[in-house]
Amino acid sequence: MVPGYNEAENIRDCAIAMRESTPLSVDNLEVLIVDDRSTDDTKAIGQTLQQHLNDPRLKILASQSILDFRF
């Protein structure tokens, strides 16, 4: 899990480094970027990465409230 509150400057590099640092498959690795009401572009950058990288190991969790998350 990667907390991503107001991390627009860092979230792209962090997500890419995490997924490129291991050859583990989707069965053995899941990278969750958790955005809880960032006031910058963290959520949008994460969603763009998810679409462009097309990597099922990368997931973006974004909400208006942390209480909305269901684990």
Average pLDDT for the chain: 86
Q: What pLDDT was estimated at residue 64? A: 63
The string of pLDDT tens digits covering residues 21-53 is 988 888 898 889 999 889 999 999 999 999 998
State the Cα–Cα distance between residues 3 and 43, nearest whole angstrom.
11
Please report, rounded to a whole number, the percentage of residues in the chain having pLDDT higher than 90.
Answer: 44
Q: What is the pLDDT of residue 24?
A: 87
pLDDT-based confidence at residue 62 (cuts at 50, 70, 90): confident
> What pTM was estimated for this model as a whole?
0.78
Rg, the chain, Cα only? 12
Does the CA dihedral 23-27-28-33 come out positive or negative? positive
Task: Tell me if 2 sits within 8 A of 43, measured CB to CB.
Answer: no
In the chain, how many H helices and how many E strands? Answer: 2, 3
